[in-house]
């Protein structure tokens, strides 16, 4: 891995983190996306997690919707989403509001992510499914990807969520390597539990494409990344995203390293050698970044060269 940076060096992002702001038609689409989210009282992980790609993605008319509230019952040390032990009950109108927003935006593919709802007996699975069903009922042509919680390991709830679900991709993020999990994630999360929820999803619905994500620069080693890649492949995960961790602020897990684009490319090739069908890898990549393109690449519908903008 790259040599650890000094405190002074960490204060300045490397040159490869430059982000272009939208202009012209892209700016108009960004504003339209903002309106669609706001008018339907929706939350997005783009905003809540301070994603650096918000201008690019919203400028392309894509957004990752976060359902079941804007507060999470877990307090992971990498995440900017607010933590509450007992958030408000999920909004019964949210499934239809979500469908209306996606229809307004004219999306062909939508990513729906969730907050952890450990306060609910089913971990929020029933509400997540209602959101998927509402979108599909209004726009059956829209591809759907769910970035799910681990449902506290509740495989009965997972079965009910996935049974006949109008879903192309089931995603759940391990977030980091096994050694760092207890340091980075909430104590109720574990590397093994995350692997199992991905494995169970594949067992329940073999036709589903499964996906996971790892943040780099938290102190992991290349050997540990290799172990994590192999563990994900062992449970059938087909899509992988790798991105640079950026701390939301003081009190969160620190950035240990800024990983170079060259190393991201090396890790991409390493992951592909292990059998991942498609990999999105780069400093600014996040788990839902250009999700439709990643799935298309895995299905052979997108030329490898076209994916290099991600990798």
Predicted TM-score (pTM) of this structure = 0.83
% of the chain surpassing 70 pLDDT? 77
Which pLDDT tens digit goes with each residue over 89-98?
Answer: 999 999 999 9
Within 8 A by CB and 6+ apart from 51, the residues are 45, 57, 286
Q: CA nearest 104: which of 53, 54, 37? A: 37
For each of the domains in the chain, give its residue range(s) and CATH number, in order of start: 7-309 (3.20.20)
CB 224 within 8 A of CB 189: no
* Whole-angstrom distance, CA of residue 230 vs CA of residue 224: 10
* Whole-angstrom distance, CA of residue 109 vs CA of residue 167: 11
H-helix or E-strand containing 282? strand 278-282
Q: Where are the alpha helices (DSSP H) in 60-112?
A: 94-105
Q: What is the pLDDT of residue 273?
A: 96
Which pLDDT tens digit goes with each residue over 179-236?
Answer: 999 999 999 999 999 999 999 999 999 999 999 999 999 999 999 999 999 999 999 9
């Amino acid at each position: 891995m790259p040599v650890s940076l000094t405190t002074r060096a960490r204060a300045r992002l490397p040159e490869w983190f430059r982000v272009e702001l939208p202009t012209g038609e892209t700016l108009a689409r960004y504003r339209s996306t903002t309106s669609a989210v706001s008018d339907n009282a929706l939350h997005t992980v783009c905003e809540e997690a301070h994603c650096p790609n918000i201008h690019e993605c919203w400028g392309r008319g894509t957004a990752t919707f976060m359902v079941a509230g804007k507060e999470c019952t877990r307090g992971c040390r990498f995440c900017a989403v607010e933590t509450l032990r007992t958030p408000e009950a999920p909004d019964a109108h949210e499934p239809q509001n979500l469908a209306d927003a996606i229809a307004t935006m004219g999306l062909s593919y939508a990513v729906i992510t969730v907050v952890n709802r450990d306060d609910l007996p089913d971990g929020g699975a029933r509400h997540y499914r209602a959101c998927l069903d509402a979108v599909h009922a209004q726009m059956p042509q829209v591809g759907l990807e769910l970035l799910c919680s681990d449902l506290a390991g509740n495989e009965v709830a997972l079965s009910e969520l996935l049974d006949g679900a109008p879903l192309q991709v089931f995603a759940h993020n391990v977030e980091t390597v096994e050694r760092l999990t207890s340091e980075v994630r909430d104590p109720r999360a574990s590397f093994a539990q995350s692997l199992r929820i991905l494995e169970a999803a594949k067992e329940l619905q073999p036709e589903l494409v499964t996906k996971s994500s790892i943040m780099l620069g938290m102190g992991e080693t290349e050997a540990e990344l290799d172990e994590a890649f192999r563990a994900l492949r062992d449970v059938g995960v087909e899509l992988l995203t790798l991105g640079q961790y950026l701390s939301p602020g003081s009190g969160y897990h620190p950035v240990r390293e800024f990983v170079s684009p060259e190393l991201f490319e090396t890790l991409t090739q390493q992951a592909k050698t292990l059998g991942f069908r498609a990999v999105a890898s780069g400093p600014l990549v996040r788990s839902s970044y250009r999700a439709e393109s990643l799935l298309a690449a895995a299905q052979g519908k997108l030329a490898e060269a076209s994916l290099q903008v991600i990798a």
